[in-house]
Amino acid sequence: MVFGFNNQGEKIMTEKVAVLGAGSWGSILANVLVENGHQVKLWSRNADQVQEMNQDHTNHRYLPNLTYQAGLEATTDMAAAVKDASLVLIVIPTKGLREVAHHLAQVLSASGAGPVIAHATKGLEQGSYKRPSEMIQEEIAPTNRQGIVVLSGPSHAEDVSIHDMTAVTAASSDEQAAKFVQGLFMNHYFRVYTNDDVIGAEFGAALKNVIAIGSGALTGLGYHDNARAALITRGLAEIRRLGVSFGANPMTFIGLSGVGDLVVTATSKNSRNWRAGYQLGQGKPLDRVVAEMGMVIEGLSTVKVAHELAQKRQVKMPITEAIYEVVYNGQDIQQVLADLMTREGTSEVE
Ligand SMILES: NC(=O)C1=CN([C@@H]2O[C@H](COP(=O)(O)OP(=O)(O)OC[C@H]3O[C@@H](n4cnc5c(N)ncnc54)[C@H](O)[C@@H]3O)[C@@H](O)[C@H]2O)C=CC1
Ligand SMILES: O=C(CO)COP(=O)(O)O
């Protein structure tokens, strides 16, 4: 057992943690853990970024105004990052998640280690419709059988970097694993709740990005608060319907990984999904929106998966369908809005 001190000068038990993915979210989560007194290795595939983090303690492409903790060590060597780690936290966009989880499985089977595995990815896999924890489980199953922990909730990296108060959920079928992650992250500005509903946490996380694109588009078109509130509320109804059809607990959708994350993403200029929607609403072509963002816009691919799932499972998701029509079929946003508003009246509770 190794003891150390956190930024508050409190004596704590120090854990070794590997964070895989040094984008905006992975690098700030790693920084929180170092502030909490843990020994953290941050893995990135990009050697220049690793050098910048180790020499200058910056990650200018993602959070240009932040100086990271000097104790945060970056590496391109995944085996070195996960050596002796009690937690491996994967923070990779959905598209690259399976590849990184596969690499992790090889590293873990070579070392024989069995750390707790967590992820903070928000999306669904194209074609297979798998949730992030299902993808990871499939890749690492031969080496690790513990419940994967989903870290999710309303949490923009920009706010965490300035120690704004943040509350998130650690969801897992393995209560001990969820509590372990909770204990590692909790501090005076970062609060973590546990939940056993992995399905609900992951559907809430993935689908809110789609609604955030719609919310940004409304603002870009010049609509105001009533329109946004309607979109968020009816968007949440769709998210809940699809999630519940897969066995999610409906209560999860009124929690941090549901309405909490939906509100922050659908109302914040820090959200890449909201900003993408805003620019689309202002008439910017989609290819320019994507090229100029320089960071992942998960909702643009999730909307395709959600559209296909809604059709397959006969779940009513009219807002998601409308956003799909704009993004994938080039339909006019004003026209899809008019179509949405003039649909036949229905009951709110269904
Ligand atoms: N940025 C934020 O505030 C939050 C992001 N998230 C989620 O976290 C996930 C990661 O997002 P960000 O860090 O914001 O993305 P980002 O676009 O800022 O960075 C992604 C990082 O992953 C790396 N990467 C991508 N594909 C890879 C692959 N195949 N192999 C190795 N590395 C790869 C990139 O090089 C980059 O360093 C997303 O699912 C996002 O929805 C969740 C909560 C907050
Ligand atoms: O998930 C997030 C906040 O909780 C980040 O959202 P964006 O990817 O839209 O920036």
Q: What is the structure's pLDDT at 145?
A: 64
Spatial CA neighbour of 31 closest among 5, 57, 2: 57
3-196 falls under which CATH superfamily?
NAD(P)-binding Rossmann-like Domain (3.40.50.720)
| Complex prediction ipTM | 0.99
Separation between Cα atoms, residue 201 and residue 152, nearest integer Å: 7
Note the pLDDT tens digit of each residue in 77-127.
999 999 999 999 999 999 999 999 999 999 998 887 789 999 999 999 999
Tell me the CATH architecture of domain 206-341: Orthogonal Bundle (1.10)
Q: What is the structure's pLDDT at 196?
A: 98
pLDDT at position 4 over 90: no
Report which secondary-structure segment, H or E, holds 79: helix 78-82
List phi, psi (to 5°) of 287: -65, -35
> Which pTM value belongs to this model?
0.97
Note the pLDDT tens digit of each residue in 307-320.
999 999 999 999 99
Separation between Cα atoms, residue 114 and residue 201, nearest integer Å: 24
Higher-pLDDT residue of 142 and 174 is: 174
- Confirm or deny that 138 is annotated as ligand binding: no
208 an active-site residue?
yes
Q: What is the structure's pLDDT at 13?
A: 83
> What is each CA distance from 177 to 102, 171, 185, 294, in whole angstroms?
21, 9, 13, 34
Give the closest residue (by CA) to ligand 1 atom 19.
23
- Name the residue of 29, 95, 121, 156 to mutate for ligand 2: max ligand atoms within 8 A of Cβ: 156
> Looking at ligand 2, which atom is closest to the CA of residue 208?
1
Angle at 126 between CA 124 and CA 128, to 5 degrees: 85
Bridge pairing between strands 39-43 and 16-20:
parallel
Listed in sequence order, the residues at least 6 apart from 105 whose beta carbon sits closer than 8 Å to its beta carbon are 139, 140, 142, 143
> Considering 95, 208, 284, 304, which one is annotated as catalytic?
208
Q: Where are the domains of the chain?
A: 3-196, 206-341
Whether 3-196 and 206-341 share one fold: the answer is: no
Give the closest residue (by CA) to ligand 1 atom 16.
23
Within the chain, what is the greatest distance between any pair of CA atoms?
A: 64
> Looking at ligand 2, which atom is closest to the CA of residue 154?
4
